[in-house]
A and B are shown apart, each in its own frame.
Chain A
Amino acid sequence: MAHGVIGSVNALIGGLFLLTSFAMVATRQVRGCLQQFVYQSILLAASALLIGGSSASWHLVAVGLITLITKPIVIPWLLRRTVPERIFTRREVALTINATASLLVALGLAVLSYFIARVLLAAAGAEFAAVNLPIGISGLLLGGYTLTVRREAVPQLIAILTMENSAFFAGIAIAPGLSIIAELAVAFDALVLAFVVGLLTRLIHERTGHTEVARLTELREEGER
């Protein structure tokens, strides 16, 4: 570790970040998923603040602050407001693959991403990238995997947001000088995404009484009901 204390704290954050991604694969309850997402976003913000602070880039500090406000606070609040409470408290059993097998697949993905990151790191070795890049990539893959395995709308949304988090997590280490307007746009995008999907979920829930994506394949006329 070149950076001593800051480096190892960042590495610790990375480890916990990876763990939340894994937890997201295996958590059954929707509320638990959301909770993991909140933890993950806080970890992302912490990493951004750390890297920003140590490389004196106020862009990253601003990104960290924006993340800290939007993701752990505003997005859960929005989802809580738009999505009916019943969806959060229900125990979601509908996993396409059971949790243990999912965890093993996820493990394979994580190992794979370390291999990929190795190649990438050889090309561009930034300071904190050794920790953030592989963990970001594996978070991305795990988010994609969660997206395919989950059948409910809200966990799928959370999986998309996780992928966005992970891409950020890798990005802040590779490109610390990214202009603030891009970061702002992405943060706003995530907000709008959460809002729209939340509203859609609410509508679907009102119409059909469930939010299982797999069961929404048939088209129905309005008058049929």
Chain B
Amino acid sequence: MTARILYNVLQVLVVMVFAPLMAGTNARLKEIVQSKRGPSILQPYRDLWKLFHKDEVVSARASWIFRVTPYIAFVAPLFVAMLIPVLTSYPLFFAFMGDMLGGGFILALAGFFACLAAVDAGNPYGPMGASRTRMVSFLVEPVFMIVFFTVSFVAGSTIPYIVQQRWVASPADFFAPSHVLIVLAFLMIIIAETGRIPVDNPAGHFELAMIDESKSLEYSGRGAALMKWGGEMKAFVLMCIFLNVLVAPWGLAATTSVGAVLLAIPLVLLKMLGLIVVLVIVESSLAKLRLFRISEFLGAAFVTAVVAMIARLFAL
């Protein structure tokens, strides 16, 4: 029992520690594709260090929401990290505290507060970005639901560990059309939720075109660091769900020995590197969509998910 609690804590720590590394790797790979050298993959750590040592400036008119939001944005992905399989293939101590929908709700809560804070600060670009983020996320929401429900329907449970076990147990279902389409839909959602190129340009510094970034424009110092770190962890957690539950449920620790759990860390990072390469290829080969084309992109994701669902319900 104590081992399961400890591993759960370790899981959260892994998410905290390695999320900036993955963000840095992603940025570096993208620069390499654009035949630039790019910053070191450790750059996000340096950014965080720098931001934590700077003074924070908060507008005198900002309410408590503005102050609380960075902490919520930072903690929400950590809560989700307790629920999902990051390192082990057997359920840990907190695994039954919430299911995949619960995880989705926790992440949505962080997004909700980030939007409130963006409106709160009074920066004219904040509310604009907030409303756009809402538009993207309410289009993403139904796709999330359908993906989760289809996956849960197959596995007979909404607990991510059990879903993961199900794919390990029967690899024949892996190439079932519903599964492939679900993977495709989820990939599109990850792109939309983490603000990647066909939907949003994370490298852009033009306020009018921003979607995700403009919400944290007003933050400085510690607040900015927490928001940034929280965003990186959110991407990490989403990629973990994608890889460990849906695409590649192998390579996780199956026994409770310390060695197996520690060995799972580099394996998970390796899998994530593969996913990042795919994402970088997607990002580099597409152009950013116009704002009103985003609904088409997410409409396509929705259709993919629903086709997966009906293929599952009717064909078998």
Contacts and interface: CB of A to CB of B under 8 A. Distances in A.
A111 B308 CA distance: 11
A100 interface: yes
Given A26-B296, A110-B310, A134-B315, A103 B303 contact: yes
Contacts of A111: 310
Interface string B232-250: 0000000000000000000
B177 A15 contact: yes
A22 to B, nearest CB: 5
B177 A11 contact: yes
A134 B315 CA distance: 8
Given A1-B172, A111-B310, A131-B315, A15 B300 contact: no
A15 B181 CA distance: 7
Range, interface on chain A: 20 to 34
A4 interface: yes
A134 B314 contact: yes
Contact of B296 (A19, A99, A106, A107): A99
The residue in B173, B178, B303, B313 that gathers the most chain A C-beta atoms within 10 A of its C-beta is: B303
Interface string A69-101: 000000000000000000000000000000110
Interface of B: 172-173, 175-178, 180-181, 184, 295-296, 299-300, 302-304, 306-308, 310-311, 313-316
A99 B181 contact: no
The residue in A22, A100, A110 that gathers the most chain B C-beta atoms within 10 A of its C-beta is: A100
A5 B172 contact: yes
B176 A11 contact: yes
Contacts of B303: 22, 103-104, 106-107
A172 B303 CA distance: 26
B212 to A, nearest CB: 22
Contacts of B300: 22-23, 26, 103
Interface string A1-25: 1001100110110111011001100
The residue in B180, B307, B314 that gathers the most chain A C-beta atoms within 10 A of its C-beta is: B307
A130 B315 contact: yes
Interface in A1-59: 1, 4-5, 8-9, 11-12, 14-16, 18-19, 22-23, 26
Task: List 7 A-B pairs, minimum CB-CB distance, nearest first.
Answer: A15-B177, A100-B299, A114-B314, A12-B175, A99-B296, A103-B299, A8-B175
Given A8-B172, A11-B176, A118-B314, A19 B304 contact: yes
B296 to A, nearest CB: 5
A100 B172 contact: no
Given A1-B316, A8-B176, A19-B181, 12 more contacts: A8-B172, A8-B175, A9-B175, A11-B175, A11-B176, A15-B311, A22-B303, A22-B307, A26-B296, A100-B299, A103-B303, A114-B314
B173 A114 contact: no
A99 B315 contact: no
Contacts of A26: 296, 299-300
The residue in A14, A19, A106, A107 that gathers the most chain B C-beta atoms within 10 A of its C-beta is: A19
Contact of A19 (B295, B307, B310, B313): B307
Nearest to B178: A15
B307 A18 contact: yes
B299 A4 contact: no
Contacts of A5: 172
Contact of B177 (A14, A23, A117): A14
A15 to B, nearest CB: 3
The residue in B184, B302, B306 that gathers the most chain A C-beta atoms within 10 A of its C-beta is: B306
Interface string A127-169: 0001100100000000000000000000000000000000000
A18 B307 CA distance: 8
A11 B315 contact: yes
A199 to B, nearest CB: 33
Contacts of B316: 1
B172 A16 contact: no
B172 A15 contact: no
A1 B184 CA distance: 22
Contact of B180 (A12, A23, A100, A114): A12
B172 A4 contact: yes
Contacts of B311: 11, 14-15, 18
A11 B302 CA distance: 20
A16 B306 CA distance: 14
Nearest to A18: B307
9 contacts: A4-B172, A12-B180, A15-B311, A19-B184, A26-B296, A110-B306, A110-B307, A111-B310, A131-B177
A15 B180 contact: yes
Contacts of A9: 175
Contacts of A100: 295-296, 299
A15 B176 CA distance: 8
